[in-house]
């Protein structure tokens, strides 16, 4: 290297006195943090302790911790609804009216349940009456067939007795 010139002159020219102070402060704080960490680790190592859930703790992975961190970020944020305008327009009056409508619907449902019982009885009676009518009609039909059978020769006998002219 020659005196007064450097291959990285452009880089060296960007280093300022403030940069050097910032660099020194960073190194000092890093050294302090590392010393604190080292001291803390020494203290933890010096304390013998155990955990009842050691198997669970041993099963914790970095992926799990990363997932927890990302979930914490999401939970920490306010959540959003696509229908926020509608939700914000709900008043105590709306809720009260919905509760009243629900109560009325439940009362109606109970009345319908009672009325369904009455309807079922009515339907059963109608079906019973219809079955009776069907039995009566079948009985009448059977009797008519018997009358037809009994009268089957009468028509021919009458035609032989009475002369039919046109």
With respect to residue 74, please indicate whether it lies within any of the assigned structural domains.
Answer: no
With respect to residue 61, please indicate whether it lies within any of the assigned structural domains.
Answer: no
Using alpha carbons only, give the angle 50, 56, 60 rounded to the nearest 5 degrees: 110
With respect to residue 122, please indicate whether it lies within any of the assigned structural domains.
Answer: yes
With respect to residue 60, please indicate whether it lies within any of the assigned structural domains.
Answer: no
Using alpha carbons only, give the angle 22, 23, 24 rounded to the nearest 5 degrees: 90
pTM above 0.75, yes or no: no
With respect to residue 165, please indicate whether it lies within any of the assigned structural domains.
Answer: no
pLDDT along the chain (166 residues), means of 10: 63 70 76 74 68 85 80 63 80 89 80 70 80 82 83 74 66
> Which residue range forms the structural domain that includes residue 119?
93-160
Residue 42 in contact with residue 48, Cβ under 8 Å? no
| Count of domains forming the chain | 1
With respect to residue 85, please indicate whether it lies within any of the assigned structural domains.
Answer: no
With respect to residue 71, please indicate whether it lies within any of the assigned structural domains.
Answer: no
- The confidence score (pLDDT) of residue 1 equals 45
Residue 134 in contact with residue 128, Cβ under 8 Å? no
Unique residue bearing structure tokens 């013998």? 48
With respect to residue 11, please indicate whether it lies within any of the assigned structural domains.
Answer: no
**Measured between alpha carbons, how far is 12 from 17 in angstroms, rounded to an integer?**
12
């Amino acid at each position: 290297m020659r005196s007064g010139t450097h291959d990285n002159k452009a880089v060296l020219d960007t280093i300022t006195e403030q940069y050097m102070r910032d660099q020194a402060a960073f190194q000092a704080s890093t050294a302090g943090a590392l010393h604190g960490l080292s001291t803390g680790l020494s203290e933890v190592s010096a304390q013998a302790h155990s955990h009842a859930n050691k198997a669970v703790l041993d099963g914790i992975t970095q992926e799990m911790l990363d997932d927890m961190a990302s979930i914490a970020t999401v939970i920490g944020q306010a959540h959003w609804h696509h229908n926020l305008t509608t939700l914000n327009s709900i008043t105590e009056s709306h809720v009260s009216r919905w509760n009243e409508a629900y109560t009325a619907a439940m009362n109606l449902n109970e009345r319908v349940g009672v009325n369904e019982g009455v309807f079922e009885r009515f339907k059963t009676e109608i079906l019973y009456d219809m079955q009776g009518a069907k039995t009566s009609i079948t009985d009448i039909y059977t009797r008519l067939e018997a009358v037809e059978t009994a009268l089957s020769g009468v028509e021919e006998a009458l035609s032989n007795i009475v002369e039919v002219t046109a």
